[in-house]
């Protein structure tokens, strides 16, 4: 993801990884529902990775310096992914994470794309996270406590407190 051009990019030239995992997801993946009744979608998966890269890029309005160390750790092993098929969902995942048991490597790759076990926010569809993104971009709240404190804004909380009104206003 390139925060400046707002486009999904290819991995850098010459990038090599040790492992390629091909995951074919359950046919019912996109029939699974979130707590708000909406179905899991491919957008949830792609959006999660966009947010992952956006928060670590100084060119993004979502940049958060406190997030950068976690991103660097992730980026040191993540090579990229390619959506091979949407129905059924098949994803090639390129990584440098290795274990003695291949099953662990496959499990890590497979769960990297489940929206509820993603790098950013668990159990939330893209459209809920996007409301928080709008609040952060408008300077009203922030995803991390560090950024909220440095900007003197609310730390986003999706279930209680003052940020609920902020999220509601962004939704409106």
- pLDDT, one tens digit per residue, over 37-63 is 999 899 988 888 888 899 999 999 999
* Residue 48 host element (H or E): helix 42-54
Q: Is 90:24 a contact under the CB 8 Å cutoff?
A: yes
Strands 154-155, 141-142: pairing is parallel
- What pLDDT is stored for residue 162 in this prediction? 95
Q: How far is CA 20 from the centre of its chain?
A: 20
Rounded to whole angstroms, the Cα distance separating 144 from 7 reads: 24
Which parts of the chain register pLDDT below 50? 118
- What pLDDT is stored for residue 60 in this prediction? 94
Q: Is 147:64 a contact under the CB 8 Å cutoff?
A: yes
Residues 6+ apart with CB under 8 A from 12: none
**Would you state the structure tokens that stand for residue 107, as one six-digit string?**
């499990």
E strands, 31-102, in order: 78-86, 89-95
> pTM higher than 0.95 for the full model?
no
- At 77-89, the pLDDT tens digits run 999 999 999 999 9
């Amino acid at each position: 993801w390139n925060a400046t051009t707002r486009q999904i990019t290819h991995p850098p030239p010459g990038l090599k990884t040790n492992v390629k995992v091909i995951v074919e997801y359950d046919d019912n993946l996109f029939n699974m529902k979130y707590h708000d009744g909406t179905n899991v979608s491919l957008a949830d998966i792609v959006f999660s990775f966009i947010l992952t890269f956006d928060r670590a890029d100084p060119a993004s309005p979502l940049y958060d310096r406190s997030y950068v160390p976690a991103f660097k750790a992730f980026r040191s092993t993540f090579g990229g992914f390619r959506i091979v098929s949407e129905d059924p969902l098949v994803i090639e995942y390129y990584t440098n994470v290795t274990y003695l048991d291949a099953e662990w490597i496959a499990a890590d790759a497979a769960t990297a794309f489940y929206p509820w076990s993603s790098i950013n926010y668990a159990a939330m569809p893209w459209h809920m996270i996007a409301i928080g993104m709008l609040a952060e971009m408008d300077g009203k709240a922030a995803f991390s406590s560090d950024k909220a404190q440095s900007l003197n804004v609310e730390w986003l909380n999706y279930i209680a407190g003052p940020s609920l009104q902020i999220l509601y206003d962004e939704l409106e």
